[in-house]
Chain A
Amino acid sequence: MAATADAAAPDLQLRPSPLLEVSDLRVTFGTRLGSVHAVQGVNLTIEPRRTLALIGESGSGKTVSAQAIMGILPRTARVSGSIKFKGDEIVGRGERELRDYRGRCVAMVFQNPERSLNPTMRVGTQIAEAVGCHLPVSKQEAHDRAVELLRMVRLPAPERRFYEYPHQLSGGMRQRVVIAIALACDPAVLIADEATTALDVTTQAQIMELLLDLQQETGSALLMISHDLGLAASYAEEVIVMYAGKIVEQAPTKELFAGVRMPYTQALLDAIPRIEMEPHVLLPVVGGRPPDLAVIPPGCSFAPRCPRVQQDCQDTCPPLQQHEPGRWWACWHPLGKEPAQ
Chain B
Amino acid sequence: MTSTGDDVLLEVHNVVQEFVLRDFGGAKGGVLQAVADVSFDLHVGETLGIVGETGSGKSTLARSVIQAPPPKRGEVIFQGQNLARLPRGALKLARRNMQMVFQDPFTSLDPRWTVAGLVEEPLVAYGEGSREQRRARVNELLDLVGLDPVRYGSRRTRELSGGQCQRVAVARALALSPKLILCDEPVSSLDVLVQAQVLNLFEKLREDLGLSYLFIAHDLALVKQVSDRVAVMYLGKLCEVGPVRSLYSAPMHPYTLALLNSIPSPDPMVSRRESATVISGELPSPLDPPSGCRFRTRCPRAADRCAVEVPEMRALADGHLVACHFPLTGNENGSAPAAASTPAAAAATTSGPAGE
Interface residues of A (CB under 8 A from B): 57-58, 170-173, 200-206, 208-209, 227-231, 233-235, 253-254, 257, 267-287, 289
Residues of chain B lying within 8 A (CB to CB) of residue A282: 200, 203-204
Which residues of the partner chain B approach A253 to less than 8 Å between Cβ atoms?
268
User: If A200-B53, A201-B262, A279-B226 touch, does A268 touch B192 (CB 8 Å cutoff)?
Assistant: yes
Once A200-B54, A201-B259, A233-B264 are accepted as A-B contacts, the answer to whether A58 and B191 lie under 8 Å apart by CB is: yes
Q: Pick the contact of B272 from A201, A235, A276, A277 — CB < 8 Å?
A: A235
- B338:A201 contact, CB within 8 angstroms: no
Query: Cα distance A269–B196 when bound, in Å?
Result: 11
Q: Roughly how many angstroms separate A286 CA and B194 CA in the complex, as a whole number?
A: 9
Residue B280 is within 8 A (CB to CB) of chain A in the complex: yes
B192 touches A280 (CB 8 A): no
A234 pairs with B265, CB closer than 8 A: yes
Q: How far is the CB of B106 from the nearest CB of chain A, in Å?
A: 13
One of B84-92, B115-123, B341-349 at the interface: B341-349
Subset of 9 A-B contacts with CB under 8 Å: A200-B54, A201-B259, A201-B262, A202-B259, A206-B279, A228-B192, A233-B268, A275-B337, A277-B224
Within 8 Å CB of B264, what residues of A? 204-205, 208, 228, 230-231, 233-235
* Number of A-B residue pairs at CB separation under 8 A: 137
Interfacial chain A residues near B272, Cβ < 8 Å: 234-235
Q: Which of B199, B218, B244, B341 contacts A283 (CB 8 A)?
A: B199
Report Cα–Cα, A171/B219, bound state, in Å: 17
Besides A205-B262, A274-B266, 8 more A-B contacts (Cβ < 8 Å) are: A170-B282, A201-B53, A208-B264, A231-B264, A271-B193, A279-B244, A280-B203, A285-B200
Shortest distance in angstroms between B321's beta carbon and chain A's nearest beta carbon? Answer: 18
How many interface residues does chain B have, given as a range? 35 or more
Residues of chain A within 8 A (CB-CB) of B193 are 57, 267-268, 271, 285-286
Q: Contact at B161–A289, with CB atoms within 8 Å?
A: yes
Q: With A and B bound together, what is the CA distance between A257 and B279 in angstroms? A: 27
- Given A200-B53, A273-B199, the answer on whether A233 and B248 have CB atoms closer than 8 Å is no
Q: Which residues of A contact B344 (CB under 8 A)?
A: 278
Tell me, yes or no, whether B208 is within 8 Å of chain A by CB: no
Say whether, besides A201-B220, A234-B272, A280-B203, A206 and B266 are in contact (CB < 8 Å): no
Query: Using Cβ atoms and an 8 Å threshold, which residues of chain A touch B200?
Result: 282-283, 285
Residues in A with CB closer than 8 Å to B54 are 171, 200
Choice from B222, B245, B265, B279 contacting A202 with Cβ under 8 Å: B279
Given A57-B191, A228-B192, CB of A276 within 8 Å of CB of B258:
no
Task: Tell me the residues in window 302-350 of chain B with beta carbons closer than 8 Å to chain A beta carbons.
Answer: 337-338, 341-342, 344-345
Contacts of A202 in B (CB 8 A): 53, 258-259, 262, 278-279
